[in-house]
A = this chain, B = another copy of it.
Amino acid sequence: MGDFKHLVVAKFKEGVAVEEIVKGMEKLVAEIDTVKSFEWGQDLESQEMLRQGFTHAFLMTFNNQGDFTAFLSHPNHVEFSTTFSAAIEKIVLLDFPAVPVKAPK
């Protein structure tokens, strides 16, 4: 079985201090043990047309769906979500069991 993934693709509002938001997210995942891994990035390569205005991707990995559900209702996550929601212009959010096709050698 693969892991359970929580993917957030976001465009921030103009003037938002994205570094502060990312710091908040780093603190959040450090505080909550059920977050198995977390990585993020800012788009470098895509043509504007293909990224549709989105600039950042955030990917959290959980051992299973139950851990993800627990994360969603964790008070620290609920609190952070309010801050995050206020900072974004648009968002796409996908939650899925990961199908690992090719694993790192």
Binding site for B on A (CB under 8 A): 2, 5, 7, 9, 25-26, 29-30, 35-46, 50-52, 54-57, 59, 61, 65, 68, 90-105
Contacts and interface: CB of A to CB of B under 8 A. Distances in A.
How many copies of this chain sit in the oligomeric assembly? 2
Nearest to A49: B93
A84 B44 CA distance: 22
Given A9-B9, A104-B61, A39 B98 contact: yes
A101 B9 contact: no
Contacts of A55: 94
A12 to B, nearest CB: 14
A94 B36 contact: no
A5 B57 CA distance: 10
A38 B96 CA distance: 15
